Each structure stands twice: as C-alpha cells, then as structure tokens.
Structure 1
Amino acid sequence: MDLERARFNMIEQQIRPWDVLDLDVLALLSQLKREEFVPATHRSLAFVDMEIPLAANTEEALRNGWCMLAPRVEARLLQDVAPKAHEKVLEVGAGSGYMAALLASRAQRVISLEIQPELARMARENLQRAGIRNAEVREADGAKGLAAEGPFDAIVLSGSVHEVPQALLQQLKVGGRLAAVVGNEPMMRATFITRTGETSFTTTQPWDTVAPRLEHFPQPSRFHF
C-alpha cells in the first residue's frame, strides 16, 4: 500500500468534505501516523471511512464498542473542541491512543481514561512508540471523570453516550468545553457544551454522526408492559 497516497486520499476525500478546514488540523493529520495506532491485523483499514475494531475478536470488539472512531469523526471533534497549547484535556475512552495523540499535539497535557485493561495497555504503548510525552493513559472508569485532577479546559468523550453526566460538566473550568456524541442509533448528534459560569452552560449540536457506546454511562430507561 502507498501509505502517503492513502493518507492524502483520506484527508481530501473523507475529512475535508466533512467541513474540517482548519489548516493546522489537516497538517497534523498528515503528520501523525494513524496506521501506527491500528492493530496489525487491521492496518490495511487505517485510512478507510469506518470504525476499526481494536480486539482480536472483531465481532466482540464491534459489539462492545472497542473501536477507533472513523477518521472524519476524530478530525471534526478535534477541530471543533479546538484545544489550545496551554490547556489541560481529559479524554474518556482511550481506545488505541490515536485521539489522545491528536489532542496532545495541540494541548499542553492530556489524561486519557480507559476502562478496558488491554486497550489501556495498547494506547499507552502506541503513545510511547510515537514519542508523545504529554499524554497519559490511566485504567479507570471514565464515566466518573477525574475530579482529583480537574478542573479541565476541555473534556472529550471518544464515543457515544445517551446523555452527558453532570459529574463531568462540573469538572470543566469556566470557559471549558466538553465534546461528545449524544443520542441513540440511528440518530446521534455531536454535542459541544461550554461552561459559561458556575452553574450555567451553553450547548450546540452542529452535526450528526453515530459512534460506539462508551461503557458505564447512564442508559435510557426501558419500560416493560
């Protein structure tokens, strides 16, 4: 495979048409080697417009949401949450470590929480191999956030949730942003929540997508008759 041609096509045919027009983000996507964060068995899919399974058992990975997000979703989340060089970012759902790597390339420090031990280990090893020193992966339940290390300038949920827990919103600084994919299949919305005061928040939902579920977040009530 011509990796650089495949990377160029990914950016020009998938990412740019999805309104990712920030030149710094596009440059970062061309420089940070996405294929190095993909399991060897799926490396040929590194630039395909799909979610990539991160476990040896593909069906189990897809069923449990152990996947890398599609490239265009990663890129749009990065562009729209817009981390800055002085900011501290919390990520929930490390996966392979690629989103943490993207965030760390823009922010001062990233802490990424991953509930699955094997994924936490994979993400940690991938980040170390890529030489990224300002991103740390911790094995933890990200649904609770990380209050002891907060407040954060930005929180990114690398997966979908039915709703954003208040506990996470309370870990934002005033002026901080939270990015998540919210809703239920077949329709989910990219949701950006900005803390505007001690008890006030503003929300925008500028685009639609679908993403794997993050574990341990509240699910909608199911009524049985």
Structure 2
Amino acid sequence: MPQWAMVIDLDKCIGCQSCTAACRAENNVPFIGPDEAELGRAIFWNEVLFDIEGEYPHVDASIIPRPCFHCENPPCVKVCPVGATYKREEDGLVLQRYERCIGCRYCTVACPYGVRYFTWYDGEWPEGMDRYQNPDVPLRPRGIVEKCTFCVHRLDEGLPIPACNQACPTGARYFGDLDDPASEVSQLARSPRAVRLLEDLGTEPRVFYLKEGL
C-alpha cells in the first residue's frame, strides 16, 4: 500500500485560495459568517496563511497553505481518550471516527500545527444549499472535531489526488506515495529545497514545503 504524502511548492503558490474553495466543496466544510468567525469558530480543512510586511509598493508576503500534516507520530492520536482519532497504518493517513468523538478537544490542543477544528454547527445546511453537498462525504454533527483527510474518500475509490491538488492553477501541489523512490513526491521530499514544519518535535509530518533559500 502507498504511504501518502503531500509536497507544496511555496515558490509557485500565489495565495489564490483555490485549494481552500475546492476543499470546502469536496468535503462539505461549513461556511460561516463574520460573526461566527469573530468568535473563532471558523473551520478550515485547508487554510492559507498570509504574513504580509511593508506597505505598497514595497511589500513582502509569505504564503503558507496548511492542511493536516498526517504525521508519522501524530500527537493527536496519543491523547484521544476514546480512539476517535487514529492512524491508518496501511497508508499513513490520520483519520477520525466521528461516531466515537466526544468533543473533549484534547487533540486540538495537542496538534502543534493548529489544523483540528471543533464543530459548532449542527450539520444542516441552509435551505437550497443542500444541492451542493458532496454525497461521498458525511456531514459532521455538532460537538465533534474534524480536519483534512487528504480526501480519503477519493483515495479509497482509486482517485489518488486530493481536491486541493486538482484545483491548484499553478501546479504548486504534489501528492503521491512517499515510499516509492520513483514517485515525484518522494523525489521532491528529498530535495535540498524541502523543509517540514516543527521537525524538532519529532512528529515527522507528511506535508513537505519547497522554498528557495531556506
């Protein structure tokens, strides 16, 4: 079985957030209004972070897309008291059993990357919007934690490309088998341009970033 991993080329990323929009549509990620966002209740399975310094026209911007990192040693799995968060050994994905989750949020605290989200919403969409739901992905009930799955429903059906990768207009994202030395992902992950966030924590994340000069 493949061991899935993602590589994101920060020198190609333009911050368009097509990946975020595609992820929301593919995985039924709830849309919220500004009032809920102010309360810190936004949910992003694939958030794009911006760090902008300076003033126009002398502006320096850093852009970092942030999915779940599907760590080799995931701290979220270790702290879950009911086994709701687990690592699927056959392909390395870190997944969630929604029916087991008790909403204690230990995992959100344990995750050093900030990519796990408590669901404040009841799983029902506004009238008329249900036509846009993806029937292949379950709606999450209120009171549980959710996150990026690398589009596991696609992978399990033999479509080895997450929606975020498919939507990227600049080809900044790569996805594949990290254990296959001939795969593009495996080769890019060994590139001198490749870095992983917070490597000193020993989580061994399976999302790699490419950036010149790091």
TM-score by length of 2: 0.26
**Which has the larger share of strand?**
1
TM-score by length of 1: 0.25
Which one has a bigger Cα radius of gyration? 2
Query: Larger relative contact order (C-alpha < 8 A, sep ≥ 6)?
Result: 2
